[in-house]
Structure 1
Amino acid sequence: MACGGPNRRLECGEDEEEAEEDKETFTVFEGKPEELGKFLDEHKPSDPAWNTENKEWVSVHNPLEDRDLRDLDKALDMWEDLVSNRRVTPKKIEEIALATKFTGGKWMIFKHRRIIDETWKRMAEATVAGKLGCSAKVSTTYASDTNKRNREIDQHLICVFTKNFADKDDVWRVEKALRSMGITDTLKYKPNIYTHFKLYLGNEYKIKPSLYTSK
């Protein structure tokens, strides 16, 4: 029902090479929909007791969505050409994403530890039921309090993924679904390719790290 490490099930549009490269570790729901409740009860993001291997994320997938493979090497090569020619713009990045099927992205939701379990349960159930995007993940609490990520951290991140950040209808459909589920926070949407191109806040190209914002 669950797995982790490089051989985990991939995120929307994620290829095996990237999964090995990013070194993130996951516990993934691989069971039948009727088994989801038990899985969520046994892998609550706020509870370090089950997480003896210090997995960073718990994730679920929409069984109605097919996974596609993207060409990470080609995307990075095209990015290097773009940078060398000093033509870095959001439009050019979108062209690379579409050419290499590197189109996944995610709405990001931050929640305090005291309410993360219930919020995640609703997001996970809706994802597996096909009511949100192609997958979702939540950051965990580590069992080892010697790990720097577990020291006094009381906030968790939920990522709700869509397959194509250029498909605005689908991106905003998911946003609307999140709002209908009671999410009232300011939400930001980030293409996965931005992370691989290291387009963080204050980057030298003055590209906003979030493509869409919902308030």
Structure 2
Amino acid sequence: MSNPDEEGPEPIQVERDLAAEAMAADMDPWVVFDARKTPRAEFDDWLDSNRPSRVFRNGDPDHNAEPVGWIAVCGPGCSPSPERGDCEGLQEDWERLQDSGRPVTFQTIKELALNRRVLSGKWLMHLATGFKVDHAWASLARAVLDGKLPSAKVSPYCPDTGAKHVICVYGDDFTDESQVVNLDAAIRAAGIKCPLSYKPDVYTYLGLYRGNRWKLCPTIYESHYDLECIPRRSRITCKVTMTELT
């Protein structure tokens, strides 16, 4: 029997591939409904025309469609210029950290993020293409439009890879546990029951994905919806300390 640890690409290559895919998606055109600029009356048609299971990541040659990086919704209260922090300074600090010989841990990454105010993060969910992702995305997009969530995006369909869609719902501060919990509650209130994981954007900006050389898990919280509990609720665990928040 073969050893599964000997199969597949090297972890570092996996990390590089994921980073390259993420960068390519960010650079390609996005399909965006911006509630600050577009009448709400146009939303239903936009949503139906841009179901994630029907929008092709690399374009649709049959309809002369261009590649699409993400499908996104910005709510009426979304900041026109959301604070991203000092990403350039973050990169410089990251290089210095690696050269210093100090351990690269969650705490040292958090320190860099705090120093440069790169504090945003997102709850992630991964769903197979088809009805489930279309239904979940529609529910979350409407919650954004109603001002219950700030902003969200979903990846389009990738028929060649068979990869699942990812939906991201954004928050302002990954270091604020109460905000992380409240954002999860708003997602659950929209009808989402699937497992969620939370990733600080600092990991994305530094190109840290699964398979990184420091063996850091790029998601720091996980949420599972307890259907047997009365009343039903999320159980959120901090993966750094392995403690339960709710």
2:86 counterpart of 1:71? yes
- Supply the distance in 2 between the matched residues of 1:84 and 1:153 (Cα, whole angstroms): 39
1:37 is paired with a residue whose SS is helix
2:138 counterpart of 1:129? no
193 and 152 in structure 1: CA distance in 2 versus 1, 3 angstrom threshold: closer
Aligned pairs for 1:37-76 within 5 A: 37-48=44-55, 52-66=65-79, 67-76=82-91
- Which residue does 1:102 correspond to in 2? 118
TM-score, with structure 2 as normaliser: 0.69
- Which residue does 1:89 correspond to in 2? 105
- Which residue does 2:43 correspond to in 1? 36
Q: CA deviation at 1:32?
A: 2.9
- Which residue does 1:4 correspond to in 2? none
- Which residue does 1:27 correspond to in 2? 31
2:137 is paired with a residue whose SS is helix
Q: Which runs of 5+ in 1 are unaligned?
A: 1-18, 142-148
58 and 21 in structure 1: CA distance in 2 versus 1, 3 angstrom threshold: closer
45 and 101 in structure 1: CA distance in 2 versus 1, 3 angstrom threshold: same
Q: Deviations over 1:116-168 (max 9, x none)?
A: 21211111110122212x31101112xxxxxxx43162631111111111121
Say whether the 8 Å CA contact 2:28–2:67 is kept in structure 1. no
- Supply the distance in 1 between the matched residues of 2:180 and 2:214 (Cα, whole angstroms): 25
186 and 88 in structure 1: CA distance in 2 versus 1, 3 angstrom threshold: same
- Which residue does 1:111 correspond to in 2? 127
Q: Deviations over 1:150-193 (max 9, x none)?
A: 31626311111111111211111111122233322221111111
- AA aligned to 1:127 is V
- Supply the distance in 1 between the matched residues of 2:136 and 2:66 (Cα, whole angstroms): 24
Q: CA deviation at 1:39?
A: 1.4
- Supply the distance in 2 between the matched residues of 1:154 and 1:87 (Cα, whole angstroms): 33
More divergent stretch after superposition (150-159 vs 119-128): 150-159
2:31 is paired with a residue whose SS is strand
TM-score, with structure 1 as normaliser: 0.78
1:131 is paired with a residue whose SS is coil
2:148 is paired with a residue whose SS is coil
Q: Which runs of 5+ in 2 are unaligned?
A: 1-22, 225-246
Say whether the 8 Å CA contact 2:87–2:205 is kept in structure 1. no
- AA aligned to 1:140 is P
2:130 is paired with a residue whose SS is helix
- Supply the distance in 2 between the matched residues of 1:130 and 1:28 (Cα, whole angstroms): 16
2:165 counterpart of 1:150? no
- What is the aligned-residue RMSD (CA, Å)? 2.3
- Which residue does 2:231 correspond to in 1? none
Count of aligned positions: 189
Give the number of the structure whose alpha-carbon radius of gyration is greater. 2
- Which residue does 2:242 correspond to in 1? none
Q: 2:212 aligns with which of 203, 208, 211?
A: 203
Q: Deviations over 1:27-71 (max 9, x none)?
A: 111213343222112211111467811212100112213222422
Q: CA deviation at 1:20?
A: 9.6
